[in-house]
Amino acid sequence: MRNIKKLHKAEYRPMGDLKTWSPLPTRNLQMIDPFIFLNHHGPQVYPPNNDGLPFGPHPHRGMETVTFILDGDIAHKDSDGHYSVIESGGVQWMTAGRGLLHSEISSDEFKEEGGPLEILQLWVNLPKRLKMMQPAYRGLQKDQISIWKNEEGSIKAQVVSGNFKGIRGAFDTPTSVSLSVVHFDKDSEVQLEIPKSDNSFFYVIRGRLEVNEIEVPELHLAEFSKNSEILNISAKEESILLLGHAEPFEEKVVFGGPFVMNSEEEIQQAYEDYKSGKMGSWE
């Protein structure tokens, strides 16, 4: 079985009235190549006539954002002309590539009516050869995402990208990243095989799971070694897991706010290109 090196509890980093937990990066874990950032917003309930999500227009370059809407909604707009409102159970995948501006706010309906909200956003790095690729965006509602279920129906996986036990993900991606959101009933269990060469990403959103005889509570990220392909997962209570794996790029990574590049010079160039309007304009 694949050994767990360490468990990392998400750090609480609220953004105004938005509850936010961040398991990556933290003081003890910078990244799990190519997974570089995760914010877990909520769960919480917004009252009627709220201000919604605070993520107005901002730029990105050199990475991808994958946004999982467990509750609530997100209205996405970007400088390449994409617009969508994705609701509970849906997923947004944006490849920033050479750069664009986007906003992620709540819909007018959500701001007016309020309701439960829980959203996760994962940043996935792009390799050097793809950092300046054409930007892309796609948003899918819950019923458009591939599903794997076990025979008992006690485990259900939304297969977002890659492959999960023979089911192909709903999103085609420029790299080999596999991502799924897995829902477990209490006392359910499954065995998974992850290629030995891949890095694993294992974050318990809700509940309590045991993986390879180690218990992982909610709001914890498990850091694995690469000694085996096997993950044996059992649910001690009803649980939700964000599961990913991918081949690491093993390249230098330099962060500059919303930009993720391979050198400080490329970060500086990104800021210059943003200021000069080369990442698009906002109306």
Q: Which residues are annotated as a binding site?
A: 58, 60, 102, 104
Question: Count of CB atoms within 10 A of residue 201's CB?
Answer: 26
The contacts of residue 215 (CB under 8 Å, 6+ apart) are 208, 209, 236
Question: From CA 277, how far away is CA 39, in angstroms rounded?
Answer: 28
Binding residues for Fe cation: 58, 60, 102, 104
- Dump the DSSP string for 218-266: TTEEEEE-SS-SEEEEEESSSEEEEEEEE-------EEETTEEESSHHH
Burial class (CB in 10 A: 0-12, 13-18, 19+), 176: middle
CA dihedral 263, 264, 265, 267 (to 10 degrees): 100
Strand partners, 255: 260
The contacts of residue 192 (CB under 8 Å, 6+ apart) are 165, 230, 231, 233, 243
Burial class (CB in 10 A: 0-12, 13-18, 19+), 141: middle
Structure tokens at 263: 């050198």
Structure tokens at 227: 């000694």
